[in-house]
Structure 1
Amino acid sequence: MDSTEKIKLLPKHLFALIKQYQQQTLGHAIKDWFYNYEWQIKPRQLQAIANNMQLPQQGKWLILADQGGIGEALAELLQQRGHKCILVYAGDSYQVDQTKSKEKYYLNPVNLGDFQSLFQQIVEPLKLPLHGAIDLWSLDAQLTPELTISALEAAQRLSCASVLHLLQTIVQRSWSVWPRLWVVTRAAVGVLDTDTLAVAQSSVWGLGKVIALEHPEIWGGMLDLPASGVMDEAATLLAEIEHPENEGLIAFRNQKRYVARLVPTIPPQPQKVLFRTDSTYLITGGLGDLGLWLARWMVEMGARHLILTGRRGASAQTQETLNQLKHKGADIKVAQADVSKMDDMARVFEQVQTSMPPLRGIFHAAGVLDDGILLRQNWERFTRVMAPKVQGAWNLHILSQNQQLDFFVCFSSFTALTGNLGQGNYAAANTFLDALVHYRHKSGLPASSINWGRWADTGMALTAQSQLEQMGVQGMPPEQALAILGYLLAAGVTQAAVAKVNWVLERETHKARQQQPLLERIWTNLPVTQVASQTSIQPPEILHQLQAAMPSQRREMLMAHIQNRIAKILGLNDSQLPSVEQGFLELGMDSLMSVELKNQLEKDLETALHASLLFNYSTITALVDYLTSQVLTLDFGTDPVKSEPDQDNSVTSGDSIISTTDATDLEEMSQMEIAELLAQKLANI
């Protein structure tokens, strides 16, 4: 080969070297971003077994009983130990049935008032300590092969709605000792490769992980029974609830007890995924930032026929992006359709069948956010978030079962694995996606679920960016996330969690809470030097300052500290300190900002604080009164002010900047549209 030919080959070699360098650089950057669930066998501790001989004092237990008799069998065992049990069944309304020898109670799972009536009229008058509440209603959900949309919606009411309303009813009452809340499911999680999942029961596991974060004071845990009842299930449940260990995610399979752990995994090998030029690919939620990033990438990877769905049509800005893709040779169709409505999606599938090449891939990226702590949530807000993920994914599953698909990809969330403050509905919705994917995989259908962490500067993540950053959840550049998606698709992965997390900050977020066994494998492997360097960045200076100050100075010092914290959260400058008498909602704080402030105060004061703290004490003055009189043990130089919770602390949906009635599908909006919407809402506060 002469020198001229070698020179001609130089650009090709240079391009290959650049690509190799880019892959190596990307591989180093993302090597710590991959996680998955691992179920490990963990028998009950011998000490806990021995403790079963030491019965707790006589008390009462509230059992939301299933139709299969497990709740009744559990009640019999508890009654044999001297306890009183209140058995409650799912019904259309609050009723007391006195036609038989024993009273039976019925509640509508979606009616919070029914739960409150039960406690006021039945639970509280029985003058015994309430040891716990066990919700077994999920067990009445239909099995997956028999599932319909209406049955799926009924299952969400039996599981998530009942747990939400039971939690709210318990937490809003005063207890000398907090009762424990337990939730029982059957085959809701995939522990063994042989498990066939009851997907309708899966969502409540996501909700449970958020309860563990927001209300560790009452959380007992999730207990998943095997698909076939081959054990003494009532006795197994009794052992867990009467003398609990510090495990919140427990499953029973083949007479063994399993617990869940999040573990790092090895990244997939870099492989190039190519989409077929003679096939159609469907992207739900395709008109938002995330969907548009995905569409651009797919066109770069060879796709030439895309159909993008959204509840609204394409905006002018979105249409400009689509036109750019068309200029690259892609045929882009936009279908205005609600993925949660079967008729809408059937119309989309018909459009593909009649006027486009064969459908070969589905990317389910539609979603809605309506964040708020569980005490401020209601079932309407839950169903709004659940619909595109749960009903939407099920519609896609049903409509595509006879299609020859290469891909069926669900964009799930890291929140489904770990929980996240203020996102009980979102965690529940995404947990369903994971379960459906495993069910499809077991059925021989293509399926992948990616539990994404935060994509930087895109869609829904923008609304919670400050809180997530504080918790250690960092943004992944979309280009890198999409490269990872290609690797995962090429590898045929069923489920993978991909997130960029600073685990030191994440651990500090939960420092004042109970230990989180789910993350112990992550935390125990943190480098000691990393922990020491990062945890020393922001020591709890205010606590040291309070300890060093004169007693008469401490109250004003704490007041000023909280004012500065709130000003920073609200984005105010140093000259705009908030009024100490103005309500937090009036100041412009939504529920997530309140959670952020509470988290900061937990770290500042090195103590656990109740999730409803800022709703019970809704001004800076009331909050300081409470902290100085009932939390901090320091001398504040005056007689402590007994601070009572604010009277107006009922469950409401009015704390969100974006309200239930006019909240927009954020995942289908561009950055500019989200900014405009937030500006409008903030202007109306």
Structure 2
Amino acid sequence: YHHLWPQWQQQAKKVRKIIHLLSMTDASATEAKGLDDAEQRGFYSLYYLLDSLFAQPSSSEEWEIILVADNANRVTGDEITLRPEHGCLLGLGKVAREEFPHVRIRFIDVDAHTDPRKVVEEFAVAAAPYQVAYRHNKRYVERLQETTLAPAEDRDAIKADGVYVITGGTGGLGLEIGKEISRLHPVNLHLISRQGLPARETWMDIEAAGADQQRIQQIASIREMEKQGAHVQIHAADISEESQLRQVLENIRKEAGAIHGVIHCAGVAGEGLLVRKPESRIREVLAAKVQGTRLLDQLTAADNLDFFVMFSSMNTVTGGAGQSDYVAANSYLDLYAAYMRQAGRKALTINWPLWRDVGMGQAYDVDNRHSPFESLAPRQGAAIFAELLHADQSQIIVGQWKRRLTKETIGHSLAHDYVLSDSLASFFRGQLEAPREEKADRPGEQQPLRILDQDETSLSATEREVAKIWAQVLGVKEISVSAKFNSMGGNSILAVYLFRLLEETYGPILNISDVFTYSTISEMADYIDSKQQPSAGAADAASETTTLDLLQRLASREISVHEALGAYKNKGGGV
């Protein structure tokens, strides 16, 4: 792509729309190589495209990327083939829209029975949601609606002496699920994690030392399961490695007999803007939920499982800046459950909100203020899981709306990507129309700001304005113009918020990574000042052109908005 961009710029300067068809292939993705090829043609090709676009001088101009894939979703139920491997591409595109505000991205899911002209016509639709699907020439969009679970079946989903495998089993969510299952019946629990736990004979020493709180909590949870009558074993294995997973599953069958259920909780957190992530980290995030899911499915195919439950994230529904790889991995799970059900297996994907005090929420100190959903207490989440084992669905979103929502917390995805049921549409409308107190969702706004490391009179006008914006985003009353954004609590979500406020104030002269490249207020202000200086061409134009000429040059993209404003000001027209 880095070689391709200069050719586009030289030969077709007005190219602003890219149709991504690399995922359209008849190749099977059921085996490891097929899945790797699908990831390369789908997820990674978009990742490389965005990464290279970001480095282009025209990266702040408006672009549209349309992703086309086949049979990703179960839409009508008549699909003969489903391709869940498109989930990674689907998820990446959803989040990339937030991290690349000047790039509009859409996803079109097509079948082999739709006239290609229908698809081409869709390319020109201006106000389409993120994802649409075509089946037999009919157009479908996703719908969100509240649902009530059917009454529980007479028989228990968890049975006494059942054998259950939990991946990510020593993580916070895995342990909570293990405790909930053990409360229902005496069961055989097999907890799989990459590192496992120290040998049991060392547990008392670890508890007595009191230094490793994470290990102590893990040991306490397992002791609680065993107190309820469960037989618990811990296995160390990387579930994305076939030989390791196969060996563990064979050992379980030899000791306990057939496996009755799989709960797939394993996952690696993804944090940070896409353009700042090394590819090695992205591959690690995808491995457990993509390769691991496929292997778990294939290696338990003969077990006649009572259930195969996958833990996904609410972010696949709402999006989430800084979570591109994580959302991509979970979007694969969202599609994979329907693929398994088509093959006759009882699979379910659950999209969870944040669980408090356990798992990734605890490990990464996740800020839930930007989510439209309340977080769950661990015991509450585990109890909901037990209820959902009776659900006859391939995917369920679990969530309680917050009592008060703003436009920011509802987000672009919920507001524009779905057809909402009447009750949801009415709820959102009521939330947005309700009178608000002073802007409580923007901490730091309108508060007196104290500069710590410089005399305020020595600051430039740009430094003062940038400092106010940073304080608003970070929710602080005092700030240092030389402190780095990260060191003051800045993260990927706040970086997107900061970028948008800076763009509102100074126009489209910044890229989102500039927040990290020019990471102090002083550096950012200097950079903004440099970008606002009118070029020599614009200055010359001011002395010899009329206002109409400037507008014509602006319309033809010969000069930027800020060059035009600078030239107009130099003409004596003011701003």
TM-score by length of 1: 0.66
Equivalent residues in 2 for 1:308-387 (5 A)? 308-314=191-197, 315-387=215-287
| 1:435 corresponds to 2:320 | no
d(CA) in 2 for partners of 1:476 and 1:374?
28
CA shift digits 1:429-477 (9 cap, x unpaired): 1111122211111111111111111111211123565543233343111
Compute the displacement of 1:278 (Å): 2.5
d(CA) in 1 for partners of 2:433 and 2:507?
17
The counterpart of 2:115, out of the listed 210, 232, 248, is: 232
- Aligned pairs, number: 503
Q: Which amino acid aligns with 2:126?
A: P
Specify whether residues 375 and 558 from structure 1 end up closer, same or farther in structure 2 by C-alpha distance, changes over 3 A only.
Answer: same
The counterpart of 1:250, out of the listed 132, 137, 161, is: 132
Specify whether residues 562 and 519 from structure 1 end up closer, same or farther in structure 2 by C-alpha distance, changes over 3 A only.
Answer: farther
Aligned residue in 2 for 1:241: 123
State the secondary structure of the residue aligned to 2:75: coil
Compute the displacement of 1:411 (Å): 0.8
Q: Which amino acid aligns with 2:195?
A: R
The counterpart of 2:78, out of the listed 194, 212, 228, is: 194
Q: Which amino acid aligns with 1:190?
A: R
| 1:207 corresponds to 2:92 | yes
Q: Which amino acid aligns with 1:561?
A: K
Answer whether contact 1:139 1:201 (CA < 8 A) is retained.
no
State the secondary structure of the residue aligned to 2:302: coil
Aligned residue in 1 for 2:169: 286
Answer whether contact 1:141 1:200 (CA < 8 A) is retained.
no
Q: Which amino acid aligns with 2:129?
A: E
The counterpart of 1:615, out of the listed 505, 516, 528, is: 516
Specify whether residues 297 and 509 from structure 1 end up closer, same or farther in structure 2 by C-alpha distance, changes over 3 A only.
Answer: closer
Answer whether contact 1:367 1:388 (CA < 8 A) is retained.
yes
Aligned residue in 1 for 2:180: 297
Root-mean-square deviation (Å): 3.5
Compute the displacement of 1:374 (Å): 1.9
| 1:125 corresponds to 2:10 | yes
Among the aligned pairs, what percent are the same residue? Answer: 27
CA shift digits 1:214-260 (9 cap, x unpaired): 2342114101111xx22332x23322224533322111111111122
Answer whether contact 1:285 1:309 (CA < 8 A) is retained.
yes
| 1:453 corresponds to 2:338 | no
Aligned residue in 1 for 2:418: 518
Aligned residue in 2 for 1:162: 45
Answer whether contact 2:91 2:329 (CA < 8 A) is retained.
yes
Specify whether residues 584 and 543 from structure 1 end up closer, same or farther in structure 2 by C-alpha distance, changes over 3 A only.
Answer: closer
Compute the displacement of 1:369 (Å): 0.8
Specify whether residues 614 and 268 from structure 1 end up closer, same or farther in structure 2 by C-alpha distance, changes over 3 A only.
Answer: farther
Question: Structure 1: which 5+ residue stretches go unaligned?
Answer: 1-114, 547-551, 569-574, 631-641, 645-685
Answer whether contact 2:115 2:137 (CA < 8 A) is retained.
no
Specify whether residues 328 and 242 from structure 1 end up closer, same or farther in structure 2 by C-alpha distance, changes over 3 A only.
Answer: closer
Aligned residue in 2 for 1:558: 465
Single out whichever of 278-287 and 236-245 deviates more from structure 2: 236-245
Aligned residue in 2 for 1:399: 299
Q: Which amino acid aligns with 1:241?
A: F
Specify whether residues 420 and 557 from structure 1 end up closer, same or farther in structure 2 by C-alpha distance, changes over 3 A only.
Answer: same
d(CA) in 1 for partners of 2:223 and 2:411?
50
Compute the displacement of 1:341 (Å): 1.0
Compute the displacement of 1:313 (Å): 2.0
Compute the displacement of 1:118 (Å): 1.8
d(CA) in 1 for partners of 2:163 and 2:381?
22
Answer whether contact 1:299 1:330 (CA < 8 A) is retained.
yes
| 1:306 corresponds to 2:306 | no
d(CA) in 2 for partners of 1:310 and 1:173?
42
Question: Structure 2: which 5+ residue stretches go unaligned?
Answer: 198-214, 449-458, 535-575
State the secondary structure of the residue aligned to 1:621: helix
Specify whether residues 621 and 270 from structure 1 end up closer, same or farther in structure 2 by C-alpha distance, changes over 3 A only.
Answer: farther
d(CA) in 2 for partners of 1:511 and 1:626?
30
Answer whether contact 2:182 2:230 (CA < 8 A) is retained.
yes
Specify whether residues 329 and 197 from structure 1 end up closer, same or farther in structure 2 by C-alpha distance, changes over 3 A only.
Answer: same
Answer whether contact 1:454 1:500 (CA < 8 A) is retained.
no
Answer whether contact 2:471 2:477 (CA < 8 A) is retained.
no
CA shift digits 1:378-404 (9 cap, x unpaired): 432221111000111111100111112
CA shift digits 1:149-173 (9 cap, x unpaired): 1211221111000011111222332
Aligned residue in 1 for 2:555: none
Q: Which amino acid aligns with 2:168?
A: G
Specify whether residues 336 and 445 from structure 1 end up closer, same or farther in structure 2 by C-alpha distance, changes over 3 A only.
Answer: same
The counterpart of 1:140, out of the listed 25, 49, 60, is: 25
Specify whether residues 263 and 612 from structure 1 end up closer, same or farther in structure 2 by C-alpha distance, changes over 3 A only.
Answer: farther
The counterpart of 1:579, out of the listed 450, 474, 480, is: 480
Specify whether residues 543 and 306 from structure 1 end up closer, same or farther in structure 2 by C-alpha distance, changes over 3 A only.
Answer: closer
Compute the displacement of 1:427 (Å): 1.0
Q: Which amino acid aligns with 1:184?
A: V
Compute the displacement of 1:211 (Å): 1.9
Q: Which amino acid aligns with 1:458?
A: V
Aligned residue in 2 for 1:9: none
Compute the displacement of 1:275 (Å): 1.9
State the secondary structure of the residue aligned to 1:526: helix
Aligned residue in 1 for 2:62: 178
TM-score by length of 2: 0.78
Specify whether residues 405 and 471 from structure 1 end up closer, same or farther in structure 2 by C-alpha distance, changes over 3 A only.
Answer: closer
| 1:478 corresponds to 2:478 | no
d(CA) in 1 for partners of 2:507 and 2:400?
26
Compute the displacement of 1:269 (Å): 4.1
Answer whether contact 1:207 1:425 (CA < 8 A) is retained.
yes
d(CA) in 2 for partners of 1:256 and 1:615?
45
Q: Which amino acid aligns with 1:584?
A: F
Q: Which amino acid aligns with 1:434?
A: D
Equivalent residues in 2 for 1:497-508 (5 A)? 497-502=397-402, 505=405, 507-508=407-408
Equivalent residues in 2 for 1:456-471 (5 A)? 456-462=356-362, 466-471=366-371
Q: Which amino acid aligns with 1:398?
A: Q
Compute the displacement of 1:124 (Å): 2.0
Specify whether residues 274 and 161 from structure 1 end up closer, same or farther in structure 2 by C-alpha distance, changes over 3 A only.
Answer: closer
| 1:265 corresponds to 2:152 | no
| 1:528 corresponds to 2:423 | no
Q: Which amino acid aligns with 1:140?
A: T
Q: Which amino acid aligns with 2:430?
A: V
Q: Which amino acid aligns with 1:158?
A: R
d(CA) in 2 for partners of 1:340 and 1:245?
39
